[in-house]
Amino acid sequence: MRDFYDDQLDALAADLAAMTTAVRLSLARASTALLDGDLGAAETVISGDAVIDAARESCENDAISLLATQQPVATDLRRVVAGLRIAGDLERIGDLAAHIAKLARMRMPEPAVPASARPIIAEMARVAEGMLESVAIVLGTHDLDAAAALLSADDEMDGLYRAMFRDLLDGDWDGGVEAAVDVALLSRYYERTGDHAVSIARRVVYQVTGVVPQA
């Protein structure tokens, strides 16, 4: 009986790992669509969002089934509850990737990001993708040092977000109102991606230690 229970827990972890891989790829493609004007990448992200949504639903159903039928306690309970919430965070990152891809597609063949904003947006994309790579490591290893590093990485993302808004509010901004709105949205999408990555790291720390790390 315990072997079957452990298999269910392992299956939930494997599904979360697969979902993380899908979300990482979706964000990378969305950034390619945005920065390289790649329509095919944008379409792939947008159509693939339904697959990520379905993966989240499957993870949640599995977690709820474990709660209802196995009544886990202590570490196992934390593992199931964390998995339930991590699936939600991953699904929201997938949504953000789809928002980026849709904005890129809407502006094609013109670039969605004006030249003056491109360096910061490109750096935000790089940091976000790096944070998702760290998420995969944290989920796979439960390495608390890696989780702590991920929490720190969000400071860099927040700094880029503030820098982008300083540029937008600068009297020298010459990109126009439409581009300013686009850039404000894009920077928010990347910043929120970082927030969800941090949320996942916190949930892993809670799963391992039973303590929620301070914000």
How many CB atoms sit inside 10 A of residue 151's CB?
Answer: 17
Q: At what angle do helices 118-141 and 144-169 cross, to 10 degrees?
A: 160
> Quick one: average pLDDT of 178-185?
92
Residue 3's pLDDT band, with cuts at 50, 70 and 90, is low
Q: At what angle do helices 74-107 and 177-209 cross, to 10 degrees?
A: 170
Could you report the per-residue pLDDT of 93-131, keeping only the tens digit for each? 999 999 999 999 999 998 889 998 999 999 999 999 999
- The one-character DSSP state at 111 is -
CA distance readout (Å), 53 to 47, 85, 127, 147: 11, 14, 24, 25
> Quick one: average pLDDT of 141-168?
90
Question: How many Å separate Cα 30 from the centre of its chain?
Answer: 12
**pLDDT at residue 2 is higher than 70:** no
| Fold designation for 2-209 | Methane Monooxygenase Hydroxylase; Chain G, domain 1 (1.20.58)
Could you report the per-residue pLDDT of 122-141, keeping only the tens digit for each? 999 999 999 999 999 999 99
The mean pLDDT of the chain is 91
